[in-house]
Amino acid sequence: MHEYSIVQSLLESCEEHVKDNDAKEVTKVIVKIGVLSGVEPDLLQTAFDTFKEHTVCNDAQFIINHQKVVIECFDCNTTSTLEKNDFCCPICESVKIKVIDGEDMYLMSLEMN
């Protein structure tokens, strides 16, 4: 499960941010996970809850925002959010599209004391 290595990197990043900002702890961690990222949100939550103990995130709330797939259509020049995994434009049904969001995982924000 690569979620464990993701959490390890996330916790290391939190440690660095706390140090760089002269804070004591992280109280909230917010991440955005795209549905095409390959990251399983439930496993990520479990991994975070398991490994946060005795770190600057010990009492931190972990919030996961789920990002649907967002596409740009080259034929009708629209941007759309896909509600299902039909990789075509919901406006004109073209398959000449580019995925512009929903493939990655991002650390969106940290709250620190």
pLDDT attached to residue 86: 87
pLDDT attached to residue 1: 55
Q: What are the residue ranges spanned by the domains of the chain?
A: 3-112
pLDDT attached to residue 85: 82
Mean pLDDT, range 95-104, rounded to an integer: 97
3-state SS of the chain?
A: CCHHHHHHHHHHHHHHHHHHCCCCCEEEEEEEEECCCCCCHHHHHHHHHHHCCCCCCCCCEEEEEEECCEEEECCCCCEEECCCCCCCCCCCCCCCEEEEECCCEEEEEEEEC
The response to whether 88 counts as a known ligand-binding position is no
Mean pLDDT of all residues in the chain? 96
The response to whether 73 counts as a known ligand-binding position is yes
The response to whether 2 counts as a known ligand-binding position is yes
The response to whether 92 counts as a known ligand-binding position is yes
pLDDT attached to residue 84: 87
Which of 3.30.2320.80, 3.40.50.720, 1.10.1270.20, 1.10.10.10 would CATH assign to domain 3-112?
3.30.2320.80
Tens digit of pLDDT for each residue in 82-97? 998 889 999 999 999 9
